[in-house]
Structure 1
Amino acid sequence: MAALAFSPDEEKGFFDTVLVILNGRCDAVKHPTLLLVHKMVQTAPDLFWKRNGALLAALTRILRTTGANDAMWPVLVSVLSTLLPCP
């Protein structure tokens, strides 16, 4: 199966949509979107996501407002630990 190829404008549009969902108030779509981001971060090249300040800011905000008992917590921790450099 051939890989899908997207133009830079399409990639930016998709990423902007993901950020709007993560920064929004609709929790019903936030968790599935976070799972999608988790898969994308895991499969992307090492530096692809790590320098994206908007994504880090959105995830950090969600982490600060999410309780440790929430179903999103393990996914948030996993995504952030993948994005943040180890000392």
Structure 2
Amino acid sequence: MSHTIRNKDKLLARIRRLKGQMEAVERALDDAKPCGEVLQLLASVRGALSGLTGEVMQEHLHEHVVHAENEDERARAAEDLAQVLKTYIR
């Protein structure tokens, strides 16, 4: 079973919180809230998204690199993670 499926409820709960935070940003913009308030909301969204991404990356590393069934799987998973990190840090 995929670790994302095994942790599905936990990950979906994080996504629902992110949706709520994005809706708060939208409301703040609709209500013409001060820039500082909008920026604070955006920082919260960014932090929550980084946390979600980090959790999935950590699980991937643990499941597919550390506990890989064989060297081919380990190499493939490490390369997948390297590509994701390359995209993530841009």
Identify, as 1 or 2, the structure richer in helix.
Answer: 2
Bigger RCO of structures 1 and 2 (CA < 8 A, at least 6 apart): 1
Alignment TM-score, normalising by the size of structure 2: 0.33
Name the TM-score, length of structure 1 as normaliser.
Answer: 0.34
Larger Rg: 2
